[in-house]
Chain A
């Protein structure tokens, strides 16, 4: 896909006359993950969230309930936890310009491996957790290598790996398997003051850690750089493979953690639990809802958490109102498009095309400069 000899032309800067040197593009696009504009869009997301919460509170009150009761907040935060963890990983993968469609299957596999390893005994927990997370990391590593070294598009690499895992799951696991350790199950039910579930705390800790990595480490900066423009990042001396692999590894790792959280709730490993939650598409939707560019290079974990929260509150209020299950999907679809339209229109930044920032085109020759010639001579 990428030919090293040529210059990327997919950024507006280069095509609009090649006046800007690649370095300045890089500086503008990538090196500054934090800036006034991003803060604005994050603030906007939380503004939307507040709006959704207010609307939900009103609608809940109409139903004769209180949105802000202990039980309801607990329900919303619980609903956020699993999708949130996966969405954090998805944020990294999308930031670096890739995608991960394999998460549902990694989640399912994690619950099965962990439950199978624990066999309902506390003494097995460390080994089972280690095995589960190691396996998740391995799957992420495979995807990262496919994307970075073999130039397989993230969409395909993760779709393919996901299909492979799903075939393995369907063949080897019929129904539930194993049992969670009592300690883990207890963790799944525990929380602070009956308002904040432990699962949500795990989510917050992970969000914090990933945010710190993105802001203060070389890896984090390179993630943005590679996602903003892989070719430019490469020419600026960034080893592009590293961040891509790291993003995929962390994403699969977090999917593994999400699997453990699910196991703590269900008590058994389930081969379809990941697909049931539709975590692949919903996590991508949540990330984009949270203001991260699907093309990569711009976005934040804080925004993603906001996006996940919007989904969770929406689902909660639709549950309280007993909306027809089919209509729920209609509302979700509508909200995704409308909300993203608001952000997209607001930040009128000209983005690189959706995928393949490493696409090649000779710099000074606009593509259509002489389209007629080849057309004419094309043999029928």
Chain B
């Protein structure tokens, strides 16, 4: 009897194996060319042939993109400044007349994750925008799959949408640039509208790619501010969230270059946005000597950095954070010299509004560059007032004031 027991699964397995070789990998679905990288529309990072041992900043620095974003900081934006989420820099437009279609459409959204406050805030805004468009009969429903920060899952999510989703349009917020390129191209191959936003991919097949100016602009704004407010030879601590994400790496690549050129001594650390780590790092640095400035590639956890100076009894540094409420509040409370750069959170509204335009047959920018202006000390009071009652993890430039549910939904952080 025992022999039978273990023979059975064995037989099944060998049968399967035979079947495999009989059909011998009938490679169906040979989607055209492979990832032989096309020049990315923007964000030309990802060191395809970079040697393993090179310096990080060299890998991520791209003079051409840097120059473009440097210019875009002072560019004029088309559209109503009251609705920055619909503004764009004049450029190539995508003709969508062939995609025009009547009736409510189903959108399929492949989201990278909602694992940080910035993404959570944006996700709430997006859902309120969806509510409006559903009421208007533009969108019938939006099906969302959350990849939980995993490239592999997001690729599977997109493939699932293509085969099972019954989607009329795709919205993709890629988890990483190079890895998602093939999957986005497969979505494009369906012939349906594809909207990519936030991080980019290495293909320009998407109907529109929505993003604020970019990481280099952030780096330039912040580094120039620190350079203006510090002396040559001063020390700046750069607090970075994590390595390897293009939008974050570009911020540091630009800032590092400027610090170097202007004689600012900058030391960078990865913190994972963990305030415990941030506080420890700053304290150790203060132990070593004076710290004149703090630079952050994202303001999350900025409060802990300021508190480290308080607890140590040191003077406040010159600091750049982000438009997260926690930083704005602490900034006002302490009165330190600072700047709140912005990675426009309102971009989460734009993809659905872009679909509205696309289905109406209106042309949309091929690369939809949204405004990205830092909050200065003069503007701070206005934003604090406008966002009173919002939680600390809320972002001042979330751009959802005219949406239903404002302000309760954001105050209570109702995540669907």
Docked complex Cα distance between A178 and B51 (Å): 9
Flag whether A98 is at the interface (Cβ < 8 A). no
Return chain A residues, CB-CB under 8 Å to B47.
Answer: 174-177
Q: A120-B36, A266-B179, A319-B157 are contacts. A175–B46 as well, Cβ < 8 Å?
A: yes
Residue B347 at the A interface, CB < 8 A? no
Check if B181 is an interface residue, CB within 8 A of chain A. yes
Q: Does B176 lie within 8 Å of A176, measured CB to CB?
A: yes
Report chain B residues within 8 Å CB of A94.
Answer: none
Quick check: A325 and B164 within 8 Å, CB to CB? no
Contact A34 B2 (CB under 8 A): yes
> Are B164 and A182 interface neighbours, CB within 8 A?
no
Q: Give min CB distance, A210 to chain B, whole Å.
A: 11
Any chain A CB within 8 A of the CB of B288? no
What residue in chain B is nearest A181 (Cβ atoms)? B34
Q: How far is the CB of B311 from chain A (nearest CB, A)?
A: 29
With A175-B243, A179-B35 known as contacts, the answer to whether A75 contacts B164 (CB < 8 A) is: yes
User: Is A372 in the interface zone, CB < 8 Å from B?
Assistant: no
Structural contact, A205 and B48, CB atoms closer than 8 A: no
Contact with A along B226-250 (1 / 0, CB 8 A): 0000000000000000011110010
Number of chain B residues whose Cβ lies closer than 8 Å to a Cβ of chain A: 69
Contact between chains at B29 and A179 (CB < 8 Å): no
The answer to whether the Cβ of B189 comes within 8 Å of any Cβ in the partner chain is no
A174/B59 in contact, CB under 8 A: yes
Interface of A, secondary structure class, is helix
A333 and B188 alpha carbons, distance in the complex (Å):
36
B57 to chain A: closest residue by CB: A174
In contact, A173 and B35 (Cβ under 8 angstroms): no
Cβ-closest chain A residue relative to B31: A189
B260 in the interface (beta carbon within 8 A) = no
Interface residues of A in 48-87 (CB under 8 A from B): 65, 69-72, 74-75, 78-79, 82
Q: Which residues of B contact A186 (CB under 8 A)?
A: 27, 30, 34
Q: Kindly identify which residue among A69, A75, A178, A322 contacts B156, using a CB–CB cutoff of 8 Å.
A: A75
What B residues does A39 contact at CB under 8 A?
A: 5
What count of chain A residues pass the 8 Å CB interface test? Answer: 63
Is B149 an interface residue when CB atoms closer than 8 A count as contact? yes
B29 lies within 8 A of A194 (CB): yes
B173-204 contact mask (Cβ, 8 Å, vs A): 1 or 0 = 00111110110000000000000000000000
- Asked if B29 contacts A207 (CB within 8 A), the reply is no
Does the CB pair B152–A262 fall under 8 Å?
yes
B30→A189 contact, CB < 8 A: yes
A141 to B157, CA, bound (A): 36
Q: Contact at B45–A175, with CB atoms within 8 Å?
A: yes
- Bound CA–CA A78/B114 (angstroms): 24
A208 touching B159, Cβ below 8 Å = no
Q: Is A178 in contact with B48, judged by CB distance below 8 angstroms?
A: yes
Instruction: Give the chain B neighbours of A208 by CB distance below 8 A.
Output: 10, 13-14, 16-17
In chain B between 33 and 60, which residues have their CB closer than 8 angstroms to a CB of chain A?
A: 34-37, 45-50, 52-53, 56, 59-60
Q: B30 and A65: CB pair below 8 A?
A: no
Known: A69-B164, A175-B246, A266-B155. A211 touches B17 (CB 8 A): no
Residue with the greatest number of chain B CB neighbours at <10 A, chosen from A268, A271, A272: A268
Q: How far is the CB of A312 from chain B (nearest CB, A)?
A: 10
Query: Taking the complex as formed, is A4 at the interface, i.e. its CB lies under 8 A from any CB of chain B?
Result: no
A223 to B398, alpha carbons, bound, how many Å? 57
Among B63-71, B140-148, B364-372, the stretch in contact with A: B140-148
Q: How far is the CB of B233 from chain A (nearest CB, A)?
A: 28
List of B residues within 8 angstroms of A201 by Cβ? 16, 20, 25
Q: Flag whether A119 is at the interface (Cβ < 8 A).
A: yes
Cβ contact of B36, chosen from A79, A176, A179, A273, cutoff 8 A: A179
Tell me if A70 and B163 are in contact (CB < 8 A). Answer: yes
CA distance A85 to B199 in the complex (A): 31
Q: Which residues in B have their C-beta under 8 angstroms from that of A211? A: 9-10, 13
B98 at the interface (CB under 8 A from A): no
Q: Which residues of B contact A276 (CB under 8 A)?
A: 148-153, 175
Q: Is the CB of A194 within 8 A of B28?
A: yes
Q: What is the minimal beta-carbon distance from A111 to any residue of chain B, in angstroms?
A: 10
Q: Which of the residues A194, A270, A319 comes within 8 Å of B151, measured between beta carbons?
A: A270
In the assembly, what is the distance between CA of A272 and CA of B179, in Å?
12
B23 at the interface (CB under 8 A from A): yes
> Are A120 and B60 interface neighbours, CB within 8 A?
no
Q: Are B160 and A176 in contact, CB atoms less than 8 angstroms apart?
A: no
Pick from A79, A176, A177, A190 the residue with the most CB of B within 10 Å. Answer: A176
Which of B45, B155, B178 neighbours the largest number of chain A CB atoms within 10 Å of its CB? B178
Residues of A near B35 (CB, < 8 A) are: 120, 179-180, 185, 267-268
Complex contact A325–B113 (CB within 8 A): yes
Measured CB to CB, the closest approach of chain B to A120, in angstroms, equals: 6
Contact assessment for A192 and B20 in the assembled complex, using a CB-CB cutoff below 8 Å = yes
| Contact indicator A170/B152 (Cβ below 8 Å) | no
Q: Is B26 an interface residue (CB 8 A)?
A: yes
Residues of B within 8 A of A78 (CB): 156, 159
With A and B bound together, what is the CA distance between A19 and B139 in angstroms?
75
Residues A179 and B164 in contact, CB atoms below 8 Å apart? no
A174-B60, A180-B34 known; A277+B17 contact, CB < 8 A: no
Q: Are A325 and B59 in contact (CB under 8 A)?
A: no
Identify which of residues 153-194 in chain A touch chain B, using a CB-to-CB cut-off of 8 Å.
170, 172-180, 182, 185-187, 189-194
Q: Report the separation of the CA atoms of residues A274 and B415 in the bound assembly, to the nearest whole angstrom.
A: 28
Q: Given A194-B29, A277-B150 in contact, is the A182-B160 Cβ separation under 8 Å?
A: no
Q: A276 CA to B23 CA in the complex, in Å?
A: 34
Q: Are B13 and A75 in contact (CB under 8 A)?
A: no
Known: A266-B152, A272-B244, A302-B9. A324 touches B415 (CB 8 A): yes
Q: Are B182 and A71 closer than 8 Å at their CB atoms? A: no
CA distance A319 to B164 in the complex (A): 12
A265–B114 Cα gap in the complex (Å)?
Answer: 23
**B102 interface contact, C-beta 8 A:** no
Docked complex Cα distance between A180 and B37 (Å): 11
**What residues on A are CB-neighbors of B56 within 8 Å?**
174
Pairwise interchain contact A268-B178, C-beta atoms closer than 8 A: yes
Smallest Cβ-Cβ distance to A208: which chain B residue: B13
Give the 8 A-B residue pairs with the shortest CB-CB distance, closest first.
Answer: A71-B163, A267-B35, A190-B27, A266-B179, A176-B178, A276-B150, A325-B146, A175-B244
- Measuring CB to CB, which residues of chain B are less than 8 angstroms from any residue of chain A? 2, 5-6, 9-10, 13-14, 16-17, 19-20, 23, 25-31, 34-37, 45-50, 52-53, 56, 59-60, 113-114, 143-146, 148-153, 155-157, 159-160, 162-164, 175-179, 181-182, 243-246, 249, 270, 415-416
For the A-B complex with A175-B245, A266-B152 known, give 8 more contacts whose Cβ atoms are closer than 8 Å.
Answer: A71-B159, A75-B163, A120-B34, A172-B52, A208-B17, A266-B151, A267-B181, A270-B244
19 CB-based A-B contacts, threshold 8 Å: A78-B156, A120-B35, A174-B243, A174-B249, A175-B60, A175-B243, A176-B178, A177-B50, A177-B52, A185-B182, A190-B29, A191-B28, A194-B28, A194-B29, A208-B14, A215-B6, A270-B151, A270-B178, A276-B153
Interface residues of A (CB under 8 A from B): 34-35, 39, 65, 69-72, 74-75, 78-79, 82, 116, 119-120, 170, 172-180, 182, 185-187, 189-194, 198, 201, 204-205, 207-208, 211-212, 215, 262, 265-268, 270-273, 276-277, 302, 319, 322, 324-326, 328
